[in-house]
């Protein structure tokens, strides 16, 4: 393995650079995936079939908490990567840990939200609107869930193996993923929640 020390650790080997580019391309595909979900959402949003619509369901409180938690986690993972670049393993692991806790908080509020929706008579089977609502939010939530496990595995690996080109690379890619989920959430927040409450 050739290590190029002029580059940050996560970019330092050929394999690492390939992985980072490959992951960016993967994110391109993810944009299409969420783009399709959003397009379908806009198509179906008014098809409530007499069931509840966004005005009925959405409450600003939990949504703001979710937004705050996820945005904060995006910030902390940024700090984590910063610490990693400085070679401060402990600090990095702490920030990653905080990120995951914030993510877990986000997920809990989202699940609470879902339960509230169901209580108000909106299940995934109620109407085209609720089907696409749960699917879009659920896809994002599933990504966060996966991210929690993935992030945990990465913390364990950094703990065991230290900051090597490999673990640094994984951590960096994970941070890209996490930021991406944050960006998707901003779209969900603006175009599903805020627009739906207007």
Partner 1 sequence: MDFFDRFAIPHPSPVIYASMVAIGLTVLAIIAGLSYFKKWGYLWREWLTTVDHKRIGIMYLISALLMLFRGGVDAIMLRAQLATPEAKLLDAQHYNEIFSTHGVVMILFMAMPFIMALMNFVVPLQIGARDVAFPRLNALSFWLFFMGAMLFNISFVIGGSPDAGWTSYFPLAGNEFSESVGTNYYMIAIQIAGIGTLLTGINFMTTILKMRAPGMTLMKMPMFTWSSLVANLIIVFAFPVLTVALAMGTMDRLFGTHFFTTDNGGMDMLWANLFWVWGHPEVYILILPSFGIYSEIISTFARRNLYGYKSMVYSMVVIAAYSFLVWAHHFFTMGQGALTNSIFSITTMAIAVPTGVKIFNWLFTLYKGKIEMTTPMLYSMLFIPLFTIGGVTGVMLAMSAADYQYHNTMFLVAHFHNVIIPGVVFAMLAGLTYYWPKMFGFMLNEKLGKWTAWLLSIGFLLAFMPMYITGLDGQARRMYTYSESTGFGPWNMVSFIGAAIMAVGFAVLVYNVYYSVRYASRNISSDPWDARTLEWATHTPVPEYNFAQVPQIDSIETFWDAKKKGHVLFKGKYEKIHMPNNSGMPFIMGCIFFAWGFSFVFGIWVPLILTTIGIFICMALRSFENDHGHYISVEEIEETETKLRGAN
CB of 60 to partner 1, least distance (A): 25
CB of 92 to partner 1, least distance (A): 18
x/- string (CB under 8 A) for partner 1, residues 142-161?
-------xx--xx-xx----
CB of 133 to partner 1, least distance (A): 11
Residue ranges in 92-121 that form contacts with partner 1 under rule CB under 8 A = none
Residue 3 binds partner 1 (CB under 8 A): no
Q: Which is nearer to partner 1, 94 or 164 (CB)?
A: 164
Count interface residues toward partner 1 (CB under 8 A).
Answer: 38
Could you tell me the two tokens for 54? 């966004």
Could you tell me the two tokens for 73? 């986690």
CA angle 133, 195, 181 (to 5 degrees): 60
Could you tell me the two tokens for 40? 């379908």
CA angle 163, 79, 2 (to 5 degrees): 30
Distance CA 2, CA 166 (A): 12
Q: Is the dihedral of CA 151, 102, 111, 183 positive or negative?
A: negative
Among positions 4, 7, 28, 55, the unique one binding partner 1 when judged by CB under 8 A: 28
Distance CA 124, CA 69 (A): 25
Q: Which is nearer to partner 1, 52 or 67 (CB)?
A: 52
- In 3D space, the residue among 174, 196, 177 whose CA is nearest the CA of residue 187 turns out to be 196
In the DSSP assignment, the letter for residue 124 is: T
Stretch that binds partner 1, among 91-99, 102-110, 129-137, 178-186 (CB under 8 A): 129-137
> For binding to partner 1 (CB under 8 A), which residues are involved?
1, 17-19, 21-22, 25-26, 28-30, 32-33, 36-37, 40, 43-44, 47-49, 51, 124-129, 131-132, 135, 149-150, 153-154, 156-157, 170
């Amino acid at each position: 393995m050739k290590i190029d020390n002029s580059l940050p650790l996560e970019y330092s080997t050929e394999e690492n650079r390939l992985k980072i580019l490959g992951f960016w391309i993967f994110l391109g595909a993810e944009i299409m995936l969420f783009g399709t979900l959003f397009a379908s959402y806009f198509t179906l949003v008014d098809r409530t079939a007499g069931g509840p619509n966004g005005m009925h369901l959405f409450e600003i409180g939990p949504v703001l908490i979710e937004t705050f938690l996820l945005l904060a986690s995006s910030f902390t993972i940024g700090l984590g990567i910063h610490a990693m670049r400085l070679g401060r393993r402990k600090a990095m692991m702490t920030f990653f840990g905080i990120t995951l806790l914030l993510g877990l908080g986000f997920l809990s509020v989202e699940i609470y939200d879902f339960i509230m929706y169901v209580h108000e008579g909106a299940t995934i089977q109620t109407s085209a609107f609720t089907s696409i609502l749960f699917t879009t939010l659920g896809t994002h939530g599933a990504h966060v869930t996966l991210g929690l496990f993935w992030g945990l595995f990465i913390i364990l690996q950094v703990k065991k193996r230290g900051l090597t080109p490999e673990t640094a690379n994984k951590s960096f890619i994970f941070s890209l993923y996490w930021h991406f989920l944050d960006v998707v959430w901003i779209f969900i927040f603006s175009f599903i929640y805020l627009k739906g409450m207007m």
